[in-house]
Amino acid sequence: MSAAPTRAGFVAIVGAPNAGKSTLVNALVGSKVSIVSPKVQTTRMRVIGIAMTDLPDGSRAQVVLVDTPGIFRIAKRRLERAMVAAAWQGAEDADAVALVVDAERGLGEDTRAIAGKLKESRAPRFLILNKIDLVPRERLLALTAEANALLAFGHTFMVSALKQDGVADVLAAFAATLPAGPFLYPEDQAADLPMRLLAAEVTREQVFLQLHQELPYEAAVETDKWEERANGVRIEQTIHVQREGQRAIVLGKGGTRIKQIGARARHELAHMLERPVHLFLHVKVSERWADDPAHYRAIGLDYEP
Ligand code: GDP
Ligand code: MG
């Protein structure tokens, strides 16, 4: 017997702060994705949840929900501009984009700005009017017309993410737009993968902040182990560098630099996860890491010249 055919892809969830994006992602994934407003804003797309679902045609779909960090930053400095540009690029790289609107608040200035930017994206667009538990139906129809006048959406959904009302239809529609292909992440990792990636990002940011003058490129960080324990979470990570000399730089004299990187990253992670974190860092020379585009895709940033 052959396995069921699969689909997989990325759906970018965009919208003004407080529109209900996190609540919607939690409802779609069906379990709490405990990432609390991470401050790190460096990658184009950040995985915030992975939803698995079955389609009526018998295929199974892996919907990787991403957000595009930095979209709201008022970019003054060069690095910030690069991050914001990268974030918009992330929205374009996704297989579909969903704009979440707080139906009670309506189309504010930031939602309009996002809608304007989405015009440039060729990915299928979904409009999700959220918090319908708070507004009368007539208002929803008017809002749908208003939003579609601003930007034509392929589908409009009216949901209450909080009450999980209408969320299953959204997931089915996301899944149906994704291309046929193998799953992007192993199914058994799907639950804690967003946290693993986030934790890797936090450490990578510390490596960058503390060593950007000495390391000619951004080191890659991988979370190898993630174990929930009674007294907190134990995280093991590998910092991949290309050469022995770079390994020495990351370690520092007598290991002082790696200690400093670990201390800051641990502090940041404990704050985000709201529980004690035991962080163990290894530094490894992995020359071939640099040649593997799959590893680079996750850390790509376009710098303005
Ligand atoms: P985000 O900033 O877009 O990620 O928004 P959040 O998911 O953090 O939600 C912002 C606030 O709106 C929170 O207090 C949520 O509980 C609330 N919220 C989200 N969805 C709904 C909904 O469908 N109905 C109601 N009444 N409140 C919601
Ligand atoms: Mg949020």
**Residue finishing a domain among 145, 177, 209:** 177
CA of 36 to the centre of ligand 2 (A): 7
Give the model's confidence band at 76: pLDDT under 50 very low, under 70 low, under 90 confident, else very high: low
The CATH number assigned to the domain holding 131 equals 3.40.50.300
pLDDT of residue 215: 79
**How do residues 217-233 score in pLDDT, each as one tens digit?**
667 888 888 888 999 99
Domain that holds residue 257: 195-298
- Rounded Cα–Cα distance for residues 247 and 245 (Å): 5
- Please tell me the distance between residue 24's alpha carbon and the centre of ligand 2 in angstroms: 9
Whether 267 and 121 share a structural domain: no
Give a yes or no: residue 185 inside a domain: no
| Same domain, yes or no: 169 and 220 | no
Q: Is the pLDDT of residue 64 over 60?
A: yes
Number of structural domains, the chain?
Answer: 2
Mean pLDDT of 63-81: 64
Q: Judge whether residue 144 has pLDDT over 80.
A: yes
Q: Is the same domain home to 170 and 203? A: no
For the chain, give the mean pLDDT.
82
The 3-state DSSP class for residue 53 equals strand
183 occurs within a structural domain: no
Model pLDDT, residue 168? 95
Residue 241 bridge partners (DSSP): 285
What is the whole-number distance in angstroms between the Cα of residue 302 and the centre of ligand 1?
A: 32
| Ligand 1 atom with minimal separation from the 130 CA | 23
Which tokens belong to 245?
Answer: 């000399």
Q: Answer yes or no: is 273 within a domain.
A: yes
Position 304 in a domain: no
Q: What is the pLDDT of residue 208?
A: 86
Pair (33, 155) in one structural domain:
yes
Of 177, 208, 223, which residue is a domain's last?
177
Q: What is the mean pLDDT of residues 62-74?
A: 71
User: Could you tell me if 219 and 279 lie in one domain?
Assistant: yes
Say whether pTM exceeds 0.85.
no
Q: For residues 173 and 180, what is the distance between their CA atoms, to the nearest angstrom?
A: 14
Residue 67 is given by DSSP the state E
CATH number at residue 216: 3.30.300.20
